[in-house]
């Protein structure tokens, strides 16, 4: 989706579409036609379905070209466009998703819209041709949005929790990281034992259900986008970088707070990111598609084809493997719920793409299954690892799903944070080193010649990193998430370079209003949106507040405090205190290193850690008025305190 002028739609020669920009707007005004806006992204399954069903259709394309000016937008390149019109769709229909279809006036005011429209009318729903005709006659369609009840976050999570399978709400179920992060932080903050117990229960049930479910790729590692059922069994098979990075941090934080039960999941996600989403220069790719060709000879892609298994494949691969004298095929099939007829019920597979196939899932815990089987947990682990390795080798020979090689700045920031948390949870310095490599990638490829941050870069055909002819500059989430990653990295490396870069980027992230808008005021979007809720990705404003408070406490820059207070005033959020820890001493001193390791071994959700080395020539950091000066002789001390740093 990197087109810069009006084009016929790739392999869809009848559909004439424009990129978002002045050429399309002027054409709509000149012809006095409404705009047909389609928003999606390259690994979106239903985006591909709608393209195939509707945009390849001669009849539908003729209607679109005759009565509309058609615009295609990649939501990952233009989150400002996506979030503005998604707010409208959610308000008018009560739900949202992708592909998003919005009809606009030539002046970019929304008329009506929805998400996926089928090519034909069916019981209870209009097909795209009918919608096109209605809109062209200036009749708006749509439903009445529903307001979310005003309830405390903890109480709301408690009432929507699924006691059977974990997670929140009904199907489809998303691994919404912001909810899980809230529960971890609430557990650490609240003084109510009853609430702590509930938080612990909801977290473990959800994280365990996800780790055992089909939403977790047990062979290829990492997590799929969401589950179509309440059991976390049948996923929508695409894999997004922003899901991996956030879940990496959540599972890592759980390990630090509650123990090491999910360490293997932390390793699993980090390995997937490195093996499947990593560019050699240090950046991370955006996503892997849900669809792929079942075989090298196939002509049509099928959702999940790369990941699912037929019983006869399992039998052939494991026919000679035993577990304590037991048949390996039987053990594996019981362990992962593999069935001869397939384990996906038809109502969860409306297009029949998974018929006769199995999505691997664990209906019991590893320890429970080992005890039931009468073997040791270690012996079972050895067998399962060997079996998964055999399956992975076969799977590697299948046609792979499409890789979206776009490298989005915001998601590099999320990756840095996730890797830092994983490093702390598992005491793996290589994860911190990988985060450092990502920072170097951002500095080299996601900043222009003036040092301004860019939204994204791409992998070229020769494997190099490239930008478009007209690079898109960064949005508020790019700044917020990268700054957060830099501050997190500073806290484990004590390298002032990351703190200074975070300060420079925060100074660039300027707005006159009380909060941060998604785009700057000179952009080409009719209304700028100021986000106030986390979604699939965290809200830029919520991250920015934490960044501003941390930077103010480090640097005592009054503008950072003022900006944080204005954002918080806009959202009327209550304050909590940051725990401040200052460690002074040479970075190579054994006592200092031991104290740093002790700090990092504990999860303190609102901590602010400052490492100062008196032997260096630049101690420029101030902590709430307590200016740090150079020390002529070695001093080692730690200071721990708590106070308001603005409202949070």
In this predicted model, what pLDDT tens digit does every residue of 415-456 receive, in sequence order? 999 999 999 999 999 999 999 999 999 999 999 988 899 999
- Over residues 382-402, the mean pLDDT reads 97
Does 319 score more than 60 pLDDT? yes
pLDDT at 107 over 90: no
User: Quick one: pLDDT at residue 382?
Assistant: 96
How do the residues of the chain divide into helix, strand and coil, expressed in percent and rounded to 5? 45, 15, 40
Average pLDDT on 358-368 reads 97
Confidence of residue 605 (pLDDT cuts 50, 70, 90): low
Q: What is the pLDDT of residue 3?
A: 41
| C-alpha closest to that of 516 among 29, 80, 4 | 80
Q: Tokens representing 397?
A: 């020979």
d(CA 607, CA 629): 23
**Of the listed ranges 113-117, 333-337, 345-349, 608-612, the one predicted with least confidence:** 608-612
* Number of alpha carbons in the 13 Å side-chain half-sphere of residue 403: 17
For the beta carbon of residue 190, count every other beta carbon within 10 angstroms.
Answer: 14
pLDDT number for residue 530: 52
* Class of residue 541 by CB neighbours under 10 A (exposed 0-12, middle 13-18, buried 19+): buried
Per-residue pLDDT, 536: 74
- Predicted local confidence at residue 615, as pLDDT: 62
| H/E segment holding residue 590 | helix 590-600
Average pLDDT, the chain: 84
What pLDDT, on a 0 to 100 scale, did the predictor assign at position 287?
A: 97
Res. 283 pLDDT band, cuts 50 70 90: very high
User: Given pLDDT bands bounded at 50, 70 and 90, which one contains residue 140?
Assistant: very low
- pLDDT category of residue 158 using cuts at 50, 70 and 90: confident
C-alpha dihedral, 364 to 368 to 372 to 374, nearest 10°: 130
pLDDT at 144 (0 to 100): 25
Please tell me the predicted confidence (pLDDT) of residue 593. Answer: 76
Mean pLDDT of 625-641: 41
pLDDT (average), residues 366-395: 96
Convert the pLDDT of each residue in 236-272 to its tens digit.
999 999 999 999 999 999 999 999 999 999 999 999 9
- pTM score above 0.85: no
Please give the average per-residue pLDDT across 37-46, as a whole number. 89
Q: Would you place residue 377 in the very low, low, confident or very high pLDDT band (cuts 50, 70, 90)?
A: very high
**pLDDT 10s digits, 550-572:** 999 888 888 888 888 887 776 65
Q: 27-31, 135-139, 318-322: which range is least confident on average?
A: 135-139
CA distances from 86 to 20, 24, 96 (A): 16, 20, 7
Q: What is the pLDDT of residue 162?
A: 92
Higher pLDDT, 501 or 190: 501
Taking the domain 7-136, which CATH number applies?
3.40.30.10
Q: Provide the pLDDT for residue 645.
A: 31
**Residue spans in the chain of domains classed CATH 3.40.30.10:** 7-136
Residue 622 has a pLDDT of 45
């Amino acid at each position: 989706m990197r087109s810069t002028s009006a084009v016929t739609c790739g392999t869809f020669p009848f559909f004439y579409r424009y990129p978002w920009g002045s050429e399309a707007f002027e054409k709509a005004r000149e012809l006095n036609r409404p705009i047909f806006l389609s928003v999606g992204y390259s690994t979106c399954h239903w985006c591909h379905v709608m393209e195939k069903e509707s945009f390849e259709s001669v009849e539908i394309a003729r209607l679109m070209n005759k009565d509309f000016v058609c615009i295609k937008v990649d939501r990952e390149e233009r989150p400002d466009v996506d979030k503005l019109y998604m707010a409208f769709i959610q308000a008018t229909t009560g739900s949202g998703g992708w592909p998003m279809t919005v009809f606009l006036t030539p002046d970019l005011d929304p008329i009506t819209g929805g998400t996926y429209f089928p090519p034909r009318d069916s019981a209870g729903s209009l097909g795209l041709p009918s919608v096109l005709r209605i809109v062209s006659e200036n009749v708006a369609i749509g439903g009445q949005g529903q307001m979310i009840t005003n309830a405390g976050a903890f109480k709301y999570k408690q009432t929507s929790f699924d006691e059977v399978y974990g997670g929140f709400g009904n199907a489809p179920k998303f691994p919404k990281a912001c909810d899980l992060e809230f529960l971890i932080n609430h557990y650490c903050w609240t003084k109510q034992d009853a609430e702590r117990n509930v938080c612990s229960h909801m977290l473990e049930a959800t994280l365990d259900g996800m780790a055992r479910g089909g939403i977790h790729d047990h062979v290829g590692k990492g997590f799929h986008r969401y589950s179509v059922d309440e059991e976390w069994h049948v996923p929508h098979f695409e894999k997004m970088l922003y899901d991996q990075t956030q879940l990496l941090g959540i599972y890592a934080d759980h390990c630090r707070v509650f123990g090491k039960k999910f360490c293997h999941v932390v390793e699993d996600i980090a390995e997937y990111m490195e093996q499947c989403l990593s560019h050699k220069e240090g950046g991370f790719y955006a996503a892997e598609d849900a669809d792929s060709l079942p075989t090298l000879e196939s002509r049509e892609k099928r959702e999940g084809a790369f990941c699912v298994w037929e019983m006869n494949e399992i039998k052939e691969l494991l026919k000679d493997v035993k577990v304590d004298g037991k048949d390996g095929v039987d053990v594996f099939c019981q362990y992962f719920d593999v069935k001869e007829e397939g384990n996906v019920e038809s109502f969860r597979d409306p297009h029949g793409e998974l018929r006769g196939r199995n999505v691997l899932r664990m209906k019991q815990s590893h320890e429970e299954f080992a005890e039931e089987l009468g073997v040791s947990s270690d012996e079972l682990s050895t067998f399962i690892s060997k079996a998964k390795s055999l399956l992975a080798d076969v799977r590697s020979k299948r046609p792979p799903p499409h890789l979206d090689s776009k490298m989005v700045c915001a998601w590099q920031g999320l990756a840095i944070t996730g890797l830092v948390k994983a490093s702390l949870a598992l005491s793996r310095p290589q994860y911190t080193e990988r985060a450092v490599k990502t920072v170097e990638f951002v500095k080299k490829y996601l900043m222009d010649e003036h040092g301004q941050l860019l939204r994204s870069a791409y992998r070229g055909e020769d494997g190099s990193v490239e930008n478009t002819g007209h690079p898109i500059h960064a949005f508020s989430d790019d700044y917020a998430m990268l700054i957060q990653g830099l501050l997190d990295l500073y806290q484990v490396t004590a390298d002032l370079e990351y703190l200074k870069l975070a300060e420079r980027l925060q100074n660039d992230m300027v707005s006159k209003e009380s909060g941060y808008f998604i785009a700057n005021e000179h952009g080409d979007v009719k209304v700028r949106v100021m986000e106030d809720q986390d979604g699939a990705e965290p809200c830029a404003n919520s991250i920015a507040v934490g960044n501003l408070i941390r930077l103010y406490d480090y640097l005592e820059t009054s503008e950072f405090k003022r900006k944080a207070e204005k954002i918080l005033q806009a959202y009327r959020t209550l304050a909590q205190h940051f725990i401040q820890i200052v460690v002074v001493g040479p970075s190579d001193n054994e006592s200092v290193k031991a104290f740093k390791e002790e700090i990092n071994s504990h999860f303190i959700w609102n901590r602010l850690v400052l490492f100062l080395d008196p032997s260096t020539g630049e101690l420029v950091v101030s902590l709430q008025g307590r200016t740090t000066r150079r020390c002529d002789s070695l001093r080692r001390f730690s200071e721990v305190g708590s106070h308001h740093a603005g409202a949070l």
